[in-house]
A and B are shown apart, each in its own frame.
Chain A
Amino acid sequence: MALLEVKNLDARFAVRGGDLTALRGISFSLDKGERLGLVGESGAGKSVAAFSILNLIAKPGYIAGGQILFEGRDLAAMSERELRGIRGNRIAMIFQDPMMTLNPVLTIGTQMVEAIQAHRKISKKEARAIALDRLQKVQIPSPEKRLDQYPHELSGGMRQRVIIAIALLLDPEIIIADEPTTALDVTIQAEIMDLLLNLCEQENVALMLITHDLGVVSQVTQRMLVMYSGRIIEQGPTREIINDAQHPYTQGLINALPQMGEPGDRLFQIPGAMPSLKNVPTGCPFHPRCHFATEQCKHSMPEYVRSGNVDVACFEVANLIEQEKQMQEAES
């Protein structure tokens, strides 16, 4: 059984003039110790997907349907009180901006002890020892000193290390990291990603990494999901998707990277932009930007088809697979 299994998740935002659908039938699973990448551009719904796992989408957002099974129990149906026992304890989150998630008026030590004591009945001294141990694990220089420092006394990279240490405090099963290095410089980003990857391997923690950076996804994750306009359009092993993407959108995203083009040449570009939730196109949401779009794409939503180990929602890919099958049958 998978550690986390999300089935047909729908999330909506209740606004004036009707509901906006932010997630449409999201299904994926995460095994123990597995690292999963969640890729997409702004507005694709990747953060909503991550937040809704812990039922953290703020009003007017709500989960409209589907299940989030964590060790067989449905998080979507759980009471707030039960959820609180899981948040930060069994499933931890790391956010983009470490300055927003650390309390500026409390020392690092106080915040860490508070987090431990919220879930475990142990003395302050014991909690402090755990906090110190985690700060050592994230390789912060002079960890004892950091316990008594305030967030503003640390650099951006060090703050993000503290955030990772806090996520590890209660030995979670899953860490959900939402763009954990986007606010950091490249050299610091490389160090933080390396650290996160090593820790997840050492402690056998599952990682759900939300990012827009395909390079980071290929370095860190084993499987990946690509989201577009609230839907997963492609999911499968990371290497397979990066090397041979099936969905036209994923292909476009990869080919639009400057490193894919010859220096000085025009880059491959996907025309247009991600639709807003207020006017999602009918049929396949990608069809207005797609080179392969047909009448069928404009009217009906493609189902998932399997190509290799990758699941893709695209009529064009489905047709190609069908043609290949017929050719093979004709040959034999």
Chain B
Amino acid sequence: MTSPLVSIRGLEKRFDLTGSLLEQISFEGGRFRRKQEAVHAINGVDLDVQRGEALCVVGESGCGKSTVARTVMGLLSPSGGEIHYDGQRIDNLDGKAALPYRRKMQMIFQNPYASLNPRMTIQQTLEEPIRFHHPDWSNIAVRDKIHEVMHSVGIDPDWGSRFGHEFSGGQRQRIAIARALAVDPEFIVADEPISALDVSIQAQVLNLLMDAQESRGLTYLFITHDLAVVEHFGTRVAVMYLGRVCELADTATLFATPRHPYTQALLSAIPKLEDDRPNHIRLQGEVPTPVNLPSGCVFHGRCPYANDRCRAEVPELIATDEGARVACHAVEEGRL
């Protein structure tokens, strides 16, 4: 197997909640105490993104999927672990050294109403990244490139002088995709790119992303909560829960034989057209707060199969017969 394009190793990210030193100190029972609290958004994630694939990361709010996306892109710096791009460690690079990677890696955001500058025309929006990364290009080369990307996302190049607010949500997302494609990236991180769109527009944008992948040989890291989209779009799927990957498998394998109890519950909760009644697996309780992580397996409090080992020991990802990787003691012990 060839080496992965992007490799995430032991990634951790904590967000400090307590602020400065003075805010951390309190006076209790005649003594000064220093208290530090943090949101543990990612707790040891290992993922490889292979060239040409679409790796989907799914999970519910607060599972850390968007934090993974932002950390990979360098928008957040990791609290621990490493990120490699094409064999080169990139999470510790400074501005100048990181520049070539900033061009190769582009991002598409969830809300096209927020990700386009309202005071820039579409022409300016698309021109900015090209001029930044190719300062030596002539005006004609820049204009041709803008025409090419606008055409490829289905936006009439004559509309370049319009502003973002003149477009519908679906068109804005097309423009956001054009902006990402304008600098010829290899790797695109898409963070819930279709969640804010209507059903008929979602299909248009998904088709566009698949066309772009085919014609430009792109590799995607696709973040979503919508499992139906994953089944259609993803090459492989990583299911996250409370900052950890609990199952990683080929899309077809994951949907045919989900092994982790959380994956099973998540899949059963998708409302399907052929259902006459909701028939989901009921989980106990709710997702615990990432401030005080549960001991052992992060899912044990809601898992119907949890035992003492699950409460004490953190499960590692272990390969199954189907070729998937599952972090679950019950699966490992053959109880499930």
Contacts and interface: CB of A to CB of B under 8 A. Distances in A.
25 contacts: A41-B200, A42-B198, A155-B286, A187-B266, A188-B286, A190-B271, A190-B278, A197-B277, A215-B271, A218-B273, A218-B275, A218-B276, A219-B275, A220-B278, A239-B276, A257-B228, A258-B203, A259-B231, A259-B273, A264-B210, A269-B203, A269-B207, A270-B203, A271-B204, A273-B168
Interface string B127-158: 00000000000000000000000000000000
Interface of A: 41-42, 155, 157-158, 185-191, 193-194, 197, 212-216, 218-220, 239, 242, 252-254, 256-259, 261, 263-264, 266-271, 273-274
A216 B271 contact: yes
A269 B272 contact: no
B198 A214 contact: no
A197 B278 contact: yes
B111 to A, nearest CB: 14
B274 interface: yes
A258 B272 contact: no
Given A190-B280, A257-B228, A264-B233, 5 more contacts: A42-B198, A186-B270, A187-B266, A242-B273, A264-B210
B200 A215 contact: no
B229 A258 contact: yes
A219 B199 contact: no
Given A42-B198, A185-B61, A190-B280, A254 B273 contact: yes
Given A41-B199, A187-B266, A197-B277, A259 B228 contact: yes
A266 B228 CA distance: 14
Given A187-B60, A194-B280, A220-B278, A215 B203 contact: no
A261 B232 contact: yes
Nearest to B271: A215
A199 to B, nearest CB: 13
Contacts of A157: 286
A186 to B, nearest CB: 4
B66 to A, nearest CB: 14
Nearest to B201: A273
B269 interface: yes
Contacts of A269: 200, 203-204, 207
Given A41-B200, A219-B276, A266 B210 contact: yes
B301 interface: no
Interface string B109-127: 0000000000000000000
A257 B198 CA distance: 11
Contacts of A41: 198-201
Report which residue of B199, B207, B233, B266 has the largest number of chain A beta carbons within 10 angstroms of its beta carbon.
B199
Chain A interface, >50% SS class: helix
B198 A274 contact: yes
Given A185-B60, A256-B202, A258-B233, A215 B273 contact: yes
A258 B206 contact: yes
A258 B269 contact: no
Interface string B278-318: 10101100100000000000000000000000000000000
Given A191-B282, A214-B273, A273-B170, A253 B232 contact: no
A189 B269 contact: yes
B252 interface: yes
Given A186-B225, A194-B278, A215-B272, A253 B200 contact: yes
A242 B199 CA distance: 15
Contacts of A186: 60, 225, 227, 266, 269-270
A193 B270 CA distance: 12
Contacts of B200: 41, 252-253, 256, 269-270, 273
A216 B170 CA distance: 23
B265 interface: yes
Nearest to B227: A186
Contacts of B202: 256
With most chain B CB atoms within 10 A of its CB, the pick from A187, A242, A254, A268 is: A187
Contacts of B171: 273
B271 A213 contact: yes
Interface in B177-219: 198-204, 206-207, 210-211
A100 to B, nearest CB: 17
B199 A267 contact: no
B251 interface: yes
A259 B227 CA distance: 9
A257 B199 contact: yes
Contact of B207 (A193, A219, A239, A267): A267
Nearest to A187: B269
Contacts of A188: 60, 286
B201 to A, nearest CB: 6
A263 B252 contact: yes
Nearest to B196: A42
A187 B265 contact: yes
A215 B275 contact: yes
B144 to A, nearest CB: 27
Nearest to B285: A141
A144 B268 CA distance: 32
Nearest to A44: B198
Nearest to A216: B271
A254 to B, nearest CB: 7
Contacts of B276: 218-219, 239
Given A193-B271, A193-B278, A220-B278, A266 B207 contact: yes
A188 to B, nearest CB: 8
B199 A253 contact: yes
